[in-house]
Copies of this chain bind each other. A is one copy, B any other.
């Protein structure tokens, strides 16, 4: 028997229909045709999806486990999500809850090339929680963003990422922005030992390759990508092609209702090579629960299949006064990202950043 993916779906259904629903999803996500029309024995034995279990979670909500042949994936990340959830995503009463991926498939993708340890090493912080802020708003010219970066860096932050809205717009073209920010940070940290700029890539695969090259020429070795917009296959291709570059994954367009964040952002982005994963923290601007965030961080960090840990980066409306609570919740294997709340300090941006950084460095873990 060849290896199979074990996919878990949550389905809203009445009890009478759930077996038929489960079988329909197993067919939809594999052969997508009536089984009676299939003559081939190999297809019946290997390719057709199999309902492996059905359990009622609460009245009207079922957990269904379906196994799918790993052969159908052909080693491609886009085809993986296509097989796991493609057409079934068109049903609004089904979510993809979790997937156990065969070790061979995980090994083929390879996970983070750097991960937690290297992201700490790059900023000379061997054991503590990392800090991050964001350059915004879009609309500022490169010099304006570079000025913000400098003030964040003076406050002692470890990573300074682009807002994910910064792309390759006329008011701040990618190359001009990267050059300006990198140059500003070099004045402060000539050896590049304490702070890293993380520009956000945009466009098609070739555009992103050029942006990575431009970033490299400016001495930048960490970038951000939105895998659900770039396409999972293209994200993974960038990871494979650029072994010295660290990749931060952004959740934009990851959807709310359809794929469980712990699997999509925690497991899948990590398996495909994300060194760090930004996600909306509970109690911020988005509706993720503490349980969702805990499961996501665990999926990013846990010891599995020999993968390096990916750094969880909770974000989305965080403030400095939440630092102690967040560090108690996540522990030190985390990167805290505060953007807007620091920028609100305006003239006191450096001081506000320093206060954030001090709170992270001085935290007494419970």
The interface of chain A, by Cβ under 8 A from chain B, is 24, 28, 30-34, 36-40, 42-43, 46-48, 71-74, 76, 78-79, 81-83, 85-87, 89-92, 136-140, 144, 163-165, 167-171, 202-207, 226, 229-234, 236-237, 251-258, 280, 285-288, 316, 339-341, 343-346
Contact = CB atoms under 8 A, between A and B. Distances in A.
A257 B258 CA distance: 8
A79 B167 contact: yes
Nearest to A261: B90
A37 B81 contact: no
A256 B139 CA distance: 33
B144 A40 contact: yes
20 contacts: A32-B340, A36-B344, A40-B144, A43-B137, A43-B138, A43-B140, A72-B165, A74-B169, A74-B202, A76-B167, A79-B202, A81-B253, A82-B165, A82-B202, A87-B251, A87-B286, A89-B256, A92-B257, A234-B234, A256-B258
B344 A37 contact: yes
B251 A90 contact: yes
Nearest to A39: B346
A124 to B, nearest CB: 28
Given A90-B256, A90-B286, A258-B255, A33 B170 contact: no
A236 B206 CA distance: 12
A92 B260 CA distance: 12
Given A204-B236, A258-B258, 14 more contacts: A30-B137, A31-B139, A33-B136, A38-B137, A71-B139, A73-B167, A74-B168, A79-B203, A85-B253, A89-B254, A204-B233, A204-B234, A204-B237, A205-B231
Nearest to A252: B86
A204 B205 CA distance: 8
Contacts of A73: 167, 169
A278 to B, nearest CB: 10
A206 to B, nearest CB: 7
A337 to B, nearest CB: 12
Given A90-B255, A344-B36, A170 B203 contact: no
A287 B33 contact: no
Contacts of A204: 76, 78, 205, 231, 233-234, 236-237
B72 A254 contact: no
A38 B349 CA distance: 12
Given A31-B138, A229-B82, A76 B253 contact: no
Contacts of A47: 137-139
Q: Which one of A31, A92, A232 has the highest number of Cβ atoms from chain B below 10 Å of its Cβ?
A: A31
B74 A167 contact: yes
Contact of A137 (B31, B92, B136, B286): B31
